[in-house]
Amino acid sequence: MIVRNSPRQASILAKPREVPAKNERSSYDRARDRSRNRATGFTLIEVVAAFFLTTVVLFFVTGIFSENGRQRSAATELLRVETTASAALDLIAQDLEGTVFVTRPSGSDPRSHPWRFLGEGSGELGASFVRFQTQNVPRGNLGENASTWVDIAYFVTEEEADEDSETEGPSYTLWRWRSSRPPSEAAQRDPDPDDPASARVAEGLAAFGVRFVDPEGGVVDDWDSAFAPDDAPIPMGVEINLTLHRLAREGETDSGALLIPGRLHERAVTLAMHRPIDLDALISLASNSDGDPTCGTIADCADFEDEWFVDLRESECDGDEELCRLLNDSTETCWSAVAKDWPSIANEAAVECEKLP
């Protein structure tokens, strides 16, 4: 069966098909491209929102770093103050712990005695000037022909304040003066910062003072051995007090001062050698000019009871030649020599012999 196309269909089929040019684009493609280009950009609202969020994040990050910086500065300042105060207290305490005092000659003027413990210039925290003699001086720090018994003084001077000074209250410098030899009449002078023997201990002090503990346990702000009893010329102990200026925190003070007084630092020191040293008695004990022994002798012990002494002499010390030699020289031999090496004989002697020097 043969199918024939109608004349209309034949004309359509016979008409050539139009093919669009290679570079020609349809209106649909162009519209789609414009829509795509608009989707890849940012709107004004998006830009403003992003800027706002960035600002908020930067604000908080900056605040964190700023607070960390303030805390670091505060910690550094605290470390500086604590280190300075601790070093100053250690030095003063070491000097005071070795305080010594030599007895005054009988009938002499106490004020002219070169060995003198003096604390004066009392203020809010005690005496601001302290002078004493000590034996706590490191041997390696001494000069040629120097002594370990030296004269020490601590004193303060007020620092000059500038017109633009931002310190709350006066500021002081703490000084330490040290002689190279034991005190003498010629050494009785007041130290000053220009003296080569003076050294700066600490700067920026708001207050400094030393208080003294008397034999009854009371605390006083001043001390002068010239007016103290002969048997207690120096205090039983001391209390060292000092306050340093530190940087003020923001809003901490109403005056707007940059430096304000910090906390109070304290140190208590016991003076172990608070009893005076009698040099004449020590020299007499070490060597007697008459050649007499400086201890209780065997003869002194025999004076209390001589039965044991007589028995040993009659028995010829039971053959102990060394013991007999000591007994024969009883007036020159210390009783302690017998008590140490022959405790059985010491037990037979009088009880009073135990008290012999």
Domain count, the chain: 2
Query: Are 253 and 315 contained in the same domain?
Result: no
Say what the pLDDT of residue 223 is. 93
Domain annotation covers residue 131: yes
The domain boundary, picked from 279, 306, 323, lies at 279
Say what the pLDDT of residue 33 is. 64
Domain annotation covers residue 57: no
Say what the pLDDT of residue 209 is. 94
Buried b (16+ CB within 10 A) or exposed e, 191-202: beeeeeebeebb
Q: How far apart are CA 120 and CA 109, in angstroms?
A: 20
Query: Are 275 and 297 contained in the same domain?
Result: no
CA atoms within 13 A on the CB side of 312: 24
Residues 264 and 243 sit within 8 Å (Cβ to Cβ)? yes
Query: Are 108 and 249 contained in the same domain?
Result: yes
Say what the pLDDT of residue 291 is. 47
The domain boundary, picked from 228, 256, 279, lies at 279
Q: How far apart are CA 343 and CA 351, in angstroms?
A: 13
Say what the pLDDT of residue 10 is. 53
Query: Are 188 and 127 contained in the same domain?
Result: yes
Query: Are 241 and 351 contained in the same domain?
Result: no
Say what the pLDDT of residue 38 is. 55
Query: Are 297 and 272 contained in the same domain?
Result: no
Q: How far apart are CA 332 and CA 326, in angstroms?
A: 9
CA atoms within 13 A on the CB side of 82: 6
The domain boundary, picked from 213, 245, 279, lies at 279
Phi-psi region of 85 (alpha: psi -120 to 50; beta: other; left: phi over 0): alpha
Q: How far apart are CA 20 and CA 41, in angstroms?
A: 32
Domain annotation covers residue 260: yes
Query: Are 121 and 221 contained in the same domain?
Result: yes
Could you identify the residue written with the tokens 């210039």?
121
Domain annotation covers residue 3: no
Q: How far apart are CA 187 and CA 100, in angstroms?
A: 17
Domain annotation covers residue 209: yes
| pTM, to two decimals | 0.61
Query: Are 164 and 192 contained in the same domain?
Result: yes
What are the beta bridge partners of residue 153? 131, 177
Helix, strand and coil percent figures for the chain, each rounded to 5:
40, 20, 40
Domain annotation covers residue 5: no
Phi-psi region of 122 (alpha: psi -120 to 50; beta: other; left: phi over 0): beta
What are the beta bridge partners of residue 156? 174
Domain annotation covers residue 123: yes
| Six token digits for residue 179 | 């002689």
The ranges of the chain with pLDDT < 70 are 1-41, 69, 136-147, 162-165, 185-189, 280-294, 355, 357
Q: How far apart are CA 271 and CA 225, in angstroms?
A: 14
Say what the pLDDT of residue 289 is. 45
Summarised one tens digit per residue, pLDDT across range 78-116 is 888 889 999 999 999 999 998 988 888 777 777 788 888
Per the structure, the complete domain to which residue 317 belongs is given by: 287-355
Query: Are 204 and 313 contained in the same domain?
Result: no
The answer to whether the Cα torsion of 127, 128, 131, 136 is positive or negative is positive
Say what the pLDDT of residue 294 is. 61
Query: Are 115 and 244 contained in the same domain?
Result: yes
| Six token digits for residue 103 | 């007895």
Residues 207 and 123 sit within 8 Å (Cβ to Cβ)? yes
The packing angle between helices 307-314 and 321-328, to 10°, is: 130
